[in-house]
Chains A and B, each alone.
Chain A
Amino acid sequence: MQKRRDFLKTIGGAAAGAYVAGRGLPALAQRGGARGGGAPAPAGPRKQISIGGRRVTVIDVHSHCTVDGVAEVVKGTPFERQAGGRALGADRIALIDSEGIDVQVLTINGYWWWEIQDRGLADRVVRAQNEGLAKWVSDHKDRFVALTSVSLQFPDLAAQQLDYGVKQLGLRGATVGGHVNGESLSDPKYDPFWAKANELGVIVFMHPGGADNIVKDTAWKARGDIGNIIGNPLETTYFLTRLIFDGTFDKFPNLKVCGAHGGGYLPSYFQRTEVACDVRGNAMCANKKHPREYLKTNIMADTMVLTDEGLRHLVAEMGISQVVYGTDNPLNWPVPVEMIVNHSTLTNDEKIQILSGNLMKLLKITTPATA
C-alpha cells in the first residue's frame, strides 16, 4: 500500500504555492477575491459579515492544522518526520479575521498515525493532538472549536478517544480519512467507532488524501496535480458510497458525516448511485433506504465546489440543511465567504444556514458572533 506520506507532500506543495507572493493571485482576484492563503496574513481589522443588514456568524468547517506536542511523542520512531508542519499561531487568527470567519473548526487531517501498529504509541499521538487542540481552543474560546483525532486502526480505542475527547476535552466530534490503511470504514470492524459517534450525536468530518487506496501506479503522475484534483473527491466519493451501500447508515442512523470538498463527486453526480441498486444486477445493495435519504440526512458537505452554479446544484441535490461553509484554510483555495453572501440564487435564510445555522447546534456553538 502506498503510504499517506504523499498527502503531506501534497499539502506541503500546495502551501508552497500559496507562499509565492503575486503568483496566481491576480487570477484569484478575478475569480472572486484574493485570499490570504498560507501567506502570513497581515494583522488587520476583523472582517464582519452581514446579510440583509444583519450580522451573521460564519463558521468554517474545513481547516487544517497540526499541534507541536506530537513531535516529542514520535521522536525516535519511524513516524518522527510526520509530526508538525502546520502549527497554529497568531497568523491563523489574522487569517480568519481577514476572511470574515468567526469560528473555525480545527481538524488534523494527515491520518499518518493510522499506520502505527503500537497501540500505546497510537494512543499517545492522538492524545497529544487532542490535548493540543483543546489547549488552543481554550486559549481562543470564541474563535475555534476542534474535532478529535482517533486511532481508527484500533476501533475500540478510537471509540474511547472520541468519548474522552468530547466529554473531557470539550471537542465537538471526530475527523477521519477515507480509508484505514486501504480498508473501507464501512467494514463492520469499525462499528465501535461509528456506534460511539452515533451515540454522542456528534459530527464526523471526513477529509481525503488522494485516493491512494484506489488509484495506484502512474495514473496520478500528470499535470494538474490530479492526485489532489481528482484523487481527493474520488476518495470521498468512494468513502461515502460505501457507507451507503454497505448499510453503515442504517446501522447508525444518527450519524452526521461531512465530506470535504463538497462531499467529493457524490452529491454533484448522485444519480448513478441512486439508480445503481435498481439497474445493476450485481449491486447486492445492503442499504435499507433509497440512497437519497442518506444524502438528505446523514451526509453533509462543505461548500467547496468553487462555482456559483456548482453550489446551487449541491444545495438542490442535498437540501439546504446538509451544506456548510468550508474553506480548506490555510490553503489558498478561492472560496471566500462572498461566494455564499453574494450567491445568485440562495435566499438570505439559506445563506445563513450554510454560513452557520446548520452547524450551531451540531457543534454546540452558543456564542453569537460578537463585535
Chain B
Amino acid sequence: MATRRDFVKTLAAGTAAAYVGGRSWSDLLAQTGAPKRREVFIGRKRVKVIDSHHHLNIADVARVVKGTPFERQAVTTGDGIIGPERIAWMDRDGIDVAMLTQQGAFWYAVQDRGLATEIVKAQNEGTAAVVGKYPDRFLGMASMPLQFPDLAAQALEDGIKRLGFKGGGISAGWAGAKNLSDPEYDVFWSKAQELGAFLFMHPGGTNGNGDPHFAGKGALGNTIGNPLETTIFFSRLIYEGTLDKFPGLKICGAHGGGYLPSYLGRTDAQCRRQDDVCTAKKRPVEDYFHTQLMADIMVFREEGLRHLVAELGVGQLVYGTDIPFGWPVTPDFILNAKSLNDAQKEAILGGNLIKLLKLSPATTA
C-alpha cells in the first residue's frame, strides 16, 4: 500500500491558503490583536454555529512515533496545532463550537497493534486536553486504528466513555483490498451503533496515493480523489448491506458527502436494470441518505447546496469548514442562501447537531 505521506504533503500545501492577507494567523494576532468574536444572528435570533468538519494535529504523537518508520508523519507545528490562533479564526468567522477530527490517517498503515494503539491514544488524549482547555469551543471526536477493527471499536468506546467524545473520525481509502463494508468491520460498526456515535468520514487514503493519474495540474488527488474516496465508501456501505445490518449508524461524509449525494440517480437505476448486482441492499438509495447518511455543506455554491438539500433533506446537512484549510465556506454561505428559510439555515448551522448529539442550545459547547 502506498504510504499516506502524500496526504500530509498535500495538506501542507493547502495550509498556505490559511494565511490571512499574506500573513499567518499568529502574525496577525501579534500585530492587530484578537478579532472580535462574531455572533451569528438570523433575524433577531442568535443561533449556535457548530462546525462539524474541523481538523487538528496533536504534537505529542511525535513522542510515540519517534524511532519508528512513521517518525516523519507526526505534525508538531503549523495551523493544525490548536492555540489562540485557532480561536481567533473561529471568532472572526462566527463559529461557536467545532468538532475536532484528527488530521490525516497515517496511522492506518501501522502494522503493529501496540504502536497503533499508542498513536491513537496520544491523539485522543491530546484532543481531550484541547477540549479541556477550551471547553466552550470544542467537542472531541475519537481517532481510531481502523486497520484493526477490534481496536477501533475499543478506541471509540474509550473516547466516548472516558474522554467525553461525541463520536469518531474515519477515513476509508479505496486502493487497498480492505473495505469498511467487509464483515470483519462488523465489530466496529456494531460498537458505533451501540454507543450512538456520530461518525465523521473524511477521505485521506487516496490523495496522490502514488498514482501518476492524480499528479499534474488541478491538485486532482484532492479535487477528485477526496470526493471519490467518499463516494466509494458510501456506495459500499449501501450496496454491501452494511447500513441495513446496522440501521442505527449515523455517518456524515465530508465535502458534501463526495459525489454521491449530488449524483444519486445512477445508484438505484443500476439496481432497477440489473437487480442481480444489488442483492444485499434493502432500501432505495434515498432512504439511506434520509436516515443514516449525512453530509457537510462544503459544496461552496448555492446551486450545489440547493441540490444537496433537495436530495438529502435539510435534516441531514451540517455546517463544516475544513479549517485550518482555507476553503470558502464561512457561515455566510448558509446565511445568504436564498433557497433556504430561516429555520432551515438554523438547522444546518447547528440545530441538526444540537438535536442529534443532544447538545445545549446555548452558544457554548
Contacts and interface: CB of A to CB of B under 8 A. Distances in A.
B363 interface: no
Given A17-B276, A226-B235, A279-B17, 9 more contacts: A222-B179, A224-B270, A226-B232, A268-B263, A270-B304, A282-B13, A283-B219, A307-B265, A313-B303
Contact of A238 (B220, B276, B304, B311): B220
Given A222-B179, A224-B239, A268 B307 contact: yes
B304 A269 contact: yes
Contacts of A101: none
A24 B274 contact: yes
Contacts of A272: 223, 226-227, 255, 299-300
Contacts of B15: 281
7 contacts: A224-B270, A225-B277, A230-B228, A242-B220, A269-B256, A313-B306, A313-B310
Question: Which of B16, B177, B211, B232 has most chain A Cβ within 10 Å?
Answer: B232
Contacts of B70: none
A228 B262 CA distance: 17
Contacts of A223: 236, 239-241, 277-281
B175 interface: yes
Interface stretch (B56-64, B147-155, B324-332): B324-332
B265 to A, nearest CB: 3
Contacts of A237: 224, 259
A309 B263 contact: no
Contacts of B266: 229, 233, 261, 305-306
Contacts of B177: 217-218
B264 interface: yes
Contacts of A270: 301, 304
B223 A281 contact: no
A80 B203 CA distance: 42
B213 A334 contact: no
Contacts of A49: none
A94 B274 CA distance: 23
A268 B262 contact: yes
B165 interface: no
A193 interface: no
Nearest 3 pairs between A and B by C-beta?
Answer: A306-B265, A224-B239, A245-B218
Given A223-B281, A275-B328, A282 B273 contact: no
B274 to A, nearest CB: 4
Interface string B200-231: 00000000000101101111101110111001
B113 interface: no
A35 B237 CA distance: 29
Interface string A6-30: 0000000110011000011001100
Nearest to A247: B217
Interface string B236-274: 101111000000000000011011001111110111111
A79 to B, nearest CB: 25
A17 B301 contact: no
Nearest to A271: B300
A293 interface: no
B300 A275 contact: yes
Given A279-B14, A313-B303, A241 B267 contact: no
Interface string A190-224: 00000000000000000000000111111100111
B304 A224 contact: no
A282 B265 contact: no
Contacts of B235: 222, 224, 226, 229-230
B364 interface: no
Contacts of A273: 218, 223
A228 to B, nearest CB: 7
